[in-house]
Amino acid sequence: MIHLHVLLVDDDADTRRTVKAALGLDPFFTVRDCASGAQAPTAAVAWRPDLILLDVSMPDRGGPALVRRLRGDKRTAPIPVVFLTALAKLAERRRFTALGAAGVITQPFDPLTSAAEVRRFVAVEGILSPVREGFMQRLRADADALAAWRAQLTRTPTQAAVTRIGEIAHSLAGAGGVYGFAGITCASAALSAAVERHLAGRAKPVDVERALNRLLERISA
């Protein structure tokens, strides 16, 4: 089963425990948490989550500033952000959406309904749900193909192998986000970029292999 990776960013330890426990009841989610806004960009680049749950008010870096930082980095720009806030007024919700948030979840977080609420922001849970299994099958097939090309790349690096890896990565970079897997989009885009640099003579085969390993790890995690 492919899991949806959620990065929770909140400076309050009790909130983090509550949200992680609530989402942990749903096998679709894999959750990691981050205790400060300052740590969040590094965590997002390293883990490439599919969705970020973000507290609006944090002492070191508030939600709005963090969203701008994430949107300004091509490595994290595709990842949707959902604000966690006690401010439920319509004007505030509109302001958060205007900042680039995918939506708002009002705190306090209800453990009984939270997983369903988070699922509302996942593309495969909406109109795309009937074709979700088709994408999962395609993802598994692409992962198998990439693993086979990786084996050839390790034995004897060829331009044909690198080119085919780049083609698969480019295609996945477009499809992953459509189906709600922004983390796969980010990892695929990074691999596609590594391939382009290699073909232009600006990167070594090992750079492609590292990016490929990260994508395969992201798919199988």
Measured between alpha carbons, how far apart are the two ends of the chain, in Å?
10
Provide the whole-model pTM: 0.83
CATH number of 4-121: 3.40.50.2300
Q: Which neighbouring-strand residues pair with 9?
A: 34, 54
Domain ranges of the chain: 4-121, 129-220
Q: What is the pLDDT along the chain (221 residues), one digit of tens a residue?
A: 678 899 999 988 998 998 999 998 888 899 999 998 889 999 999 999 999 999 887 766 667 788 888 989 999 999 999 988 876 666 677 777 777 788 888 877 778 888 888 888 876 665 566 677 788 889 999 999 999 999 988 888 789 999 999 999 999 998 888 888 899 999 999 999 999 999 999 998 899 999 999 999 988 86
CATH pick for 129-220 out of 2.20.28, 1.10.390, 1.20.120, 2.60.40? 1.20.120
The Cβ-side half-sphere exposure at 204, using a 13 Å CA radius, reads 3
Q: How far apart, in Å, are the Cα atoms of 193 and each of 63, 89, 169, 184, 197?
A: 29, 42, 9, 14, 6
